[in-house]
Amino acid sequence: MQGQGELRDQTAEYQERIDDWAKKAVQRFRKAAGGVTPRTCPICGYHGLFPAFGQPPRFDARCGSCGSLERHRLIWLMVLREDFFEDDHAVLHFAPEQQLSGRIRVRVDRYETADLREADILTHRVNIEDTGLPDCSYDRIVCNHVLEHVDDTKALAELFRMLRPGGKALLSTPVIEGWAKTYEPEGIDSREARKLHFGQADHVRFYGRDIRDRIRAAGFQLREVVAEGQDVIDYGLWRGEAVFVATRPREQPE
C-alpha cells in the first residue's frame, strides 16, 4: 500500500503534469484563435483571417468584417448561385440576423421580420408557433437556428401555412448526423440542465438525422445544400453542415 506521503507526491506530480498540458493548450489556442488560414466572406467580400467562435470554439469561424458565421456564408452562397430571392418576392425572416437581413431586404419587393423579442427592426412581434399572420402570404421564409428553441411541430406547420404554394422556407439548425433520432428527453427544464444536455440554455433538443422526417411530416418537399469541397476551404464553412430548403407543393395531395 502507498503511504500518505507517497500519495501526496504522486498527486503533486499529476497536477504539475496537468498544469503543463493546460498551459500548452492555452498557448495553442491563443495562436489559432485569431485565425489559422485566410478565408473569403461571400457576404461582405472580406478576405483575411477569421477568428474562432462558439463553445467549444471553432477555428476560422467568424468573418473578421461582418461577423458572419459558417451557416450565414453557406446560405448566402446558395442565395447567390440559385437566385433564391426574386425582386417580386414577399419574404418573412424569423429572428433576423444582421449579416443577412439588409442584403435580403434590397433584393425583394416586401421584406418583413418576426421574433418574440422587442426590437425596432421587427415588423411582427409574434410566436413562431402561432403567428396569427395570413395564410399563403409569403414566397420565402427564412428561419435559421430557431426550431431548436420551440415546439417544432407547431412551428413547421405554421411556416407551411404562411407560404404560398411553391414557396420555400430556408431552415438551418444544429444537427448531429451520427444520431438517427433527435435527443429531447423529458424533464430537462432548467437553464443549467438544458445547457448541459443541448449545448445552450434556451435550446430544447439536439436534432438527429430524423429532422428530415419532421420537416416532411409538415407537408414539405425537402432538399439540402451541404458545405463541401473547395467551398469549405475558400469560405470557412463547417464541413458537412446542411441548410434545408423546404418547399410547399403547388398542389396538395388528395
Using 50, 70 and 90 to split pLDDT, how confident is the model at 5? low
Interior CA angle at 163 toward 246 and 70, to 5°? 45
CATH code assigned to 50-247: 3.40.50.150
Using 50, 70 and 90 to split pLDDT, how confident is the model at 14? confident
Q: Is the pLDDT of residue 4 over 70?
A: no
Range from 46-50, 158-162, 181-185 carrying the lowest mean pLDDT: 181-185
- What percent of the chain clears pLDDT 70, i.e. is strictly above it? 95
- Is residue 206 within 8 Å of residue 184, measured between CB atoms? yes
Determine the pLDDT at residue 122. Answer: 92
SS (H, E, C) 57-73: CECCCCCCCCCCCHHHH
For residue 105, give the C-alpha cell. 431586404
Q: 3-class SS at 124?
A: strand
Q: Is the pLDDT of residue 3 over 70?
A: no
Using 50, 70 and 90 to split pLDDT, how confident is the model at 7? low
Find the mean pLDDT for residues 12-29: 81
Q: Is the pLDDT of residue 150 over 90?
A: yes
Of 222, 213, 220, nearest in space to 252 by CA: 220
Determine the pLDDT at residue 2. Answer: 53
For the whole model, what pTM was predicted?
0.87
| b/e burial code for range 72-99 (CB count within 10 A of at least 16 → b) | bbbbbbebeeeebbeeebbbbbbbbbeb
- Is residue 136 within 8 Å of residue 162, measured between CB atoms? yes
Find the mean pLDDT for residues 151-165: 98
Using 50, 70 and 90 to split pLDDT, how confident is the model at 27? confident
- Is residue 197 within 8 Å of residue 183, measured between CB atoms? yes
- Beta sheet of 90-94, edge-to-edge order: 124-125, 110-115, 90-94, 138-144, 163-172, 242-247, 221-226
Q: Is the pLDDT of residue 254 over 70?
A: no
* Rounded CA separation 92/123 (Å): 9
For residue 36, give the C-alpha cell. 489559422
pLDDT in tens, 48-70: 999 999 878 899 999 999 999 99
